Amino acid sequence: MTAMSMTVDQIVSEARQLPQDLRAELLDRLGGAMHGDDSPEVAAEWNQLALDRMAAVESGRSQLRPGEEVMARMRQIIGR
């Protein structure tokens, strides 16, 4: 079966069988391609940003907040 003849459901089913690291890479590549940012340079910048943010949390310069709390605050700010 070629990729062109596969349905989206079949692609998703196949992707779910991949090891976790390959699924993550696939998601990263598809997400970047959707936004026109699939270059290695952009990926490297995002990776560095993630590492910087993780270091800030680990050093105590930044604090994590629960996603529900952040989303509630955002809804409050935009009036929804």
- Nearest-angstrom CA–CA distance, 42 and 71: 27
State both tokens at 62: 């930044």
Q: Using the predicted structure, report yes or no on whether residue 1 has a pLDDT greater than 60.
A: no
pTM, 2 dp? 0.45
> Are 58 and 51 a contacting pair, CB within 8 Å?
no
pLDDT digits (tens, 9 = 90+) for 46-76: 788 889 998 999 999 999 999 899 999 999 9
Determine how many CB atoms are found less than 10 A away from the CB of residue 42: 13
